Structure 1
Amino acid sequence: MRPQGAIFVALPHLGPILIWLLAPHRLSGWCNGSKKLTWCPPHRVLLLVWTVIYSIIGYASYLVWKDLGRGFGWPLALPLGLYAVQLVISWTVLTLFFVARTPGLALLHLLLLYGLVVSMALIWHPINKLAALLLLPFLAWLTVFTSIAYHLWRDSLCPEHPPQPSGEKSD
């Protein structure tokens, strides 16, 4: 891999590094609450998975850039433009989820992110099949993370003690 490849692999990590620098104290305990999900991994595992995913998609973007001529001309506008938008939305999701602790807003952004990644895979496939296939772990991870966000959002809407069912009148 050329030095440019290292830049492409490192670029997606800028957002999470800034988030960690700006709010390291708020990252732990993000999934702890009165209704903690039993299957919810610790925040460190989530951050590790995001790190691996960002490295993979960074490498995939490098493959697309390389196959389209290694420049920054018009042919790269759509494939890497979608990638750039996806990165910003992904970083926004992390901010909403870990820093602002708003799983509902994170969920909306995750749904948008899912559509962007599917679009990227469809556009990248004719350019570089491996790059498109490398997006599949990201889609799988987004499915898991969206499920976590949904459950945390749903549980945040419910009161601490669920309402007691009203008794039916007997005839």
Structure 2
Amino acid sequence: MTTYIPSLTLPAFVFEKPAAAVLLPIVLGQAVGLSARPDGSKKTYNALKQPPYAPPAHIFAPVWTVLYGSMGYAAYRAWTAGMNSFDANKVLLAKQGATLYTIQLGLNLLWMPLFFSLGRPIEATVDIVALTGLTGYLTYTWSKVDKVAGWALAPYLGWLGFATYLCAGAGYLNNWDFHGKQKVQKEE
């Protein structure tokens, strides 16, 4: 069981307004992506040995944009359904889910700098495993409040499972050391 922790939770207005709920993760995700230098990240990605079924680098930005949007929509749906419910348990679950959502968003935004900017595949893998587990619990929690919110998180959860495989696979295939790949990236 989790707890609603206001100091660790995005402000209520983010969840109450559909545009804010949907756009916040998209804008934050794009900001982190741009801060990690997309060309540098693409070069690093292409320089790494990748596990089977790794998609081309240009796939990630559009996929993540859609996933961030659906994540935000789920947040709006769950919060609205919970706060408008006469069921005290749903209200509590919506608030607890808001704390989980905020923490998972932080873990999500931390992954790219860990993997690409800092070249820390072990820490990135720990981050994404924690993120995937937390998102699974969030999906379960918010599905008790609003089924649509739970289903809106399902593609995100599925992609996180695939991304975990890619992260751990790249780490393993590159001996958990990206430093040589970072130098190649900087020399070009």
Q: In which range does the TM-score fall when normalised by the shorter chain?
A: 0.7 to 0.9
What letter corresponds to residue 124 of structure 1 in structure 2? W
Aligned residues: 155
Identify the structure with bigger relative contact order (alpha carbons < 8 Å, sequence gap 6+). Answer: 2
CA contact (8 A) 1:16 1:94 kept: no
Q: Which one has the largest radius of gyration?
A: 1
- Seen in structure 2, the aligned counterparts of structure 1 residues 32 and 145 have a Cα distance that, compared at 3 Å, is same
Q: Once the 2 structures are TM-superposed, how far is the Cα of residue 15 of structure 1 from its aligned partner?
A: 2.6
What letter corresponds to residue 23 of structure 1 in structure 2? A
Q: 1:17 maps to which residue? A: 30
What letter corresponds to residue 67 of structure 1 in structure 2? A
Distance in 2 (alpha carbons) for counterparts of 1:60 and 1:123: 12
Q: 1 or 2, which has the higher helix percentage? A: 2
Aligned with residue 59 of structure 1, among 63, 69, 73: 73
Counterparts of residues 76-155 of structure 1 (less than 5 Å): 76-155=94-173
Distance in 2 (alpha carbons) for counterparts of 1:57 and 1:82: 12
RMSD of aligned Cα (Å): 2.3
Q: Once the 2 structures are TM-superposed, how far is the Cα of residue 13 of structure 1 from its aligned partner?
A: 1.9
What percentage of aligned pairs have identical amino acids?
26
CA contact (8 A) 2:104 2:131 kept: yes
Distance in 2 (alpha carbons) for counterparts of 1:39 and 1:75: 37
Unaligned runs of 5+ in 1: 160-171
CA contact (8 A) 1:30 1:101 kept: no
TM-score (norm. length: structure 2): 0.73
TM-score (norm. length: structure 1): 0.80
Unaligned runs of 5+ in 2: 1-15, 85-90, 178-188
